[in-house]
Amino acid sequence: MGGLVMERKERIEEEFELGDEGEAVQEYEALTDDFLHITASLIADEVAQSLKGRAGVAVDLGAGPGSLVMEMAVRLPQFLVIGLDISLPMAQRGRERARAAGVENVAFVVADVHQLPFKSKFVEVIVSHGSMHHWRRVDIALAEIRQVLAEKGFIYMSDLRRDAPDAVVQKIAALLNERQARAFLNSVRAAYTIEELSTLVEGADLGHVRVEPEDFSRRTIMRNIEDLRRSPMRGMRQATTNLRLVGGGD
């Protein structure tokens, strides 16, 4: 791992090393199950606390194999939770996992975040985790989100931040296999800063959305305390490595 170094002053477009989508699904699913699942649980709890008494459609943008989709669906049985991903194999794997887990209030669609396949003001909740840095044009995606989000819709979109401390980034990379570590470092280089995303949010006229370091309430932490203690990521301060776009629902 000592040979993997990173220069992060300027944002890069992320490049993928995996040879085919099937391999990408397997690699990402392993990373999700081993390291990212606890974050999906934390996000789902945080979102659920903000949506009491509401129902409708929630959409996870860049859902991958569906970890956040299923965590959301379990906590929000009054919602249909749709996992949207540009990859057909990812969507297929999400469907398989949902069937195996017996989670019924879910659906998976193959679509592009730059052209969302929903009617205007149709979606009550937009979530996303670890996907924004993959998007070719975040400004276009945010404009699409504004178009499909209900008048009092809720947004919770989490991603890496490019200005995460080098020591923390390298500590996380050291927990991963070489391919995962290289992908993680590339993802950090492709991520945004809070200031950059704040400008993009303002340009999309999403005035109710704030961009901030990702942090979780004490209630959410306590609900997930046992899983946090077992997680390889224990001790990592989420706010130093992740940011979030959050707002709405009032």
Task: With beta carbons less than 8 A apart as the criterion, state whether 26 and 96 touch.
Answer: no
Partners of 246 in the beta sheet? 156, 210
Listed by start position, the domains of the chain span 21-248
Residue 17 has pLDDT above 50, yes or no: no
**Structure tokens of 99?**
């069937």
Residue 220 has pLDDT above 50, yes or no: yes
Q: Which amino acid is at 195?
A: E
pLDDT 10s digits, 144-189: 999 999 999 999 999 999 999 999 999 999 988 888 888 889 999 9
Closest of 179, 199, 183, 193 to residue 241, by C-alpha: 193
According to CATH, the superfamily of the domain at 21-248 is Vaccinia Virus protein VP39 (3.40.50.150)
- Distance CA(111)–CA(144), nearest Å, equals 12
Closest of 121, 125, 127, 128 to residue 146, by C-alpha: 121
Query: pTM of the prediction?
Result: 0.89
DSSP structural state of residue 212: E
pLDDT 10s digits, 42-76: 999 999 999 988 899 999 999 999 999 999 999 99
Q: Within 10 Å of residue 34's Cβ, how many Cβ atoms?
A: 16
Grade residue 242 by pLDDT with cuts at 50, 70 and 90: very high
Grade residue 212 by pLDDT with cuts at 50, 70 and 90: very high
